[in-house]
Homo-oligomer: A and B are copies of this chain.
Amino acid sequence: MGFVQNLQKNISKNNSLLCVGLDADKAKLPQSVLQLPLPQFAFNKAIIDATLQYVSCYKPNSAFYESCGKEGLESLEKTIEYLHQKDVPVVLDVKRGDIGNTAQQFAISAYDELGADSVTLNPYMGLDAIEPFLNYRDKYSFVLVKTSNSTSGDFQDLYVTSLPSISPVLGVFRAGEQENVYGVAVTTPSPLYMHVARKVLQWNELYNNCGMVVGATYPEQLAEIRALSEQSWILVPGIGKQGGDLEKTLKAGLNKDKEGLILVSAREIIFASSGGDFAEKAGEKAKETRDAINLYR
């Protein structure tokens, strides 16, 4: 079963658009878990058992495993294996972007070595860096469009004119330009993230396995991006600890079928308690978050 089919199956079964971020930061794991072999896997297993019935998918961020060397890598492998046993899709958050022959190696790493069902990708290097992942037709790529962090505007919010210069004097009109009341040519710039979103839609027309990442911390931009396409799957980090507003996010991002969004919460759920009851509390928090999401669907 392909990623999207499996995702939709879990969305229906659990009536949930929630994705739990398995960011098993070793420094934050409960004492009871740290004594076990492969503590990150032991932690994830308990979290998965407690939250499985409330989620549509899981998203481990590879950074938290890579920072623990070989032990971390083994925990990540076992986590993905366990999620497959439970028949729930895995988005591996790696935010990759590299030239063709190297991207190919990263695709092998994510899909063949680790067995993920989906990845996150960085668009800065263009299609070359994305295509090796899209060639795995049953897998799914989420491309960063407007990210949830506070400096995401450094480049993503720059306005693109697509023209090397604007020539009101010459009055030359080119694609994307408009005439103003004075009859001079002006461009109507749009932000870089909108250009990236449009490119992702083009790529998806070719491959049919390409969606976007848009942070819940930017609901207005999410609405702009949703307006481009009803069908797109949008992965939305930033609810929970990062402070994204649930109601605004859902109003901005749901498609007409009240779907098309996957809402990620990580720390707020998995670290809901640091005591022996961490899994139980994570389960409660996951249920609460799922229900809060459904309130606005």
Q: Report which A residues bind B (CB closer than 8 A).
A: 23, 25, 61, 63-64, 66-70, 73-74, 77, 95-103, 105-106, 108-109, 112-113, 122-129, 144, 147-156, 158-166, 168-169, 180-182, 184, 186-189, 192, 195-196, 199
Q: Are B161 and A189 in contact (CB under 8 A)?
A: yes
Smallest CB gap from A69: residue in B = B113
Give how many copies assemble into the complex: 2
Sorted nearest first, the 7 A-B pairs with minimum C-beta distance are: A126-B154, A126-B151, A63-B105, A158-B160, A66-B109, A99-B149, A128-B151
Most chain B CB neighbours (cut-off 10 Å) among A108, A125, A186: A125
**A-B contacts, 10 listed (Cβ < 8 Å):** A67-B113, A95-B97, A95-B122, A124-B155, A126-B153, A155-B196, A161-B161, A168-B180, A168-B184, A168-B186
Is there an interface contact between B127 and A151, defined as CB atoms closer than 8 Å?
yes
Inter-subunit contact A166/B195 (CB<8 Å)? no
Are A154's CB and B127's CB within 8 A? Answer: yes
> A125 contacts which of B74, B147, B158, B186 (Cβ < 8 Å)?
B147
Q: Across the interface, which residues of B come within 8 angstroms of A165, CB to CB?
A: 159, 188-189
